[in-house]
Amino acid sequence: EDQVTQSPEALRLQEGESSSLNCSYTVSGLRGLFWYRQDPGKGPEFLFTLYSAGEEKEKERLKATLTKKESFLHITAPKPEDSATYLCAVQAWGGTSYGKLTFGQGTILTVHP
């Protein structure tokens, strides 16, 4: 069974203080690893898809990396508007995985000015 574990559960940063969020996963065959951002009362907002170990993607202050066992979301010089819950999800290959993302519990990020 696919599993995703995110750490830490919560992270409090000062504005400008860079850090990383971790996503550890086990999956039979990785089709894709996804990062989402979710603000309170809203649906998850798509950030990145990573497909293979060694892949990296960047968007503004965010950079996602992937190894065979985990992914990191690096946040450089965060701002208060980066405060949100960050979700990691995996999708496996195979018919039993059609349209199914397996999510971690998320990391609640708070950035203080």
Partner 1 sequence: KAGVTQTPRYLIKTRGQQVTLSCSPISGHRSVSWYQQTPGQGLQFLFEYFSETQRNKGNFPGRFSGRQFSNSRSEMNVSTLELGDSALYLCASSSGLAGAEHNEQFFGPGTRLTVL
User: Which residues here bind partner 1, judged by CB under 8 A?
Assistant: 31-32, 34, 36, 41-46, 49, 51, 87, 89, 91, 95-106
Q: Nearer to partner 1 by C-beta: 22 or 76?
A: 22
Q: Nearer to partner 1 by C-beta: 41 or 54?
A: 41
In the complex, the smallest distance separating the C-beta of residue 113 from partner 1, rounded to whole angstroms, is 27
In the complex, the smallest distance separating the C-beta of residue 12 from partner 1, rounded to whole angstroms, is 20
Centre a 10 Å sphere on the Cβ of residue 69 and count the other Cβ atoms it contains.
Answer: 10
How far is CA 94 from each of CA 51, 55, 72, 100, rounded to the nearest angstrom? 15, 22, 25, 10
Q: Which long-range contacts (CB under 8 A, 24 or more apart) does 47-54 make?
A: 47/73, 47/86
Q: Nearer to partner 1 by C-beta: 72 or 103?
A: 103
In the complex, the smallest distance separating the C-beta of residue 87 from partner 1, rounded to whole angstroms, is 7
Give the span between the Cα atoms of 86 and 44, in whole angstroms. 9
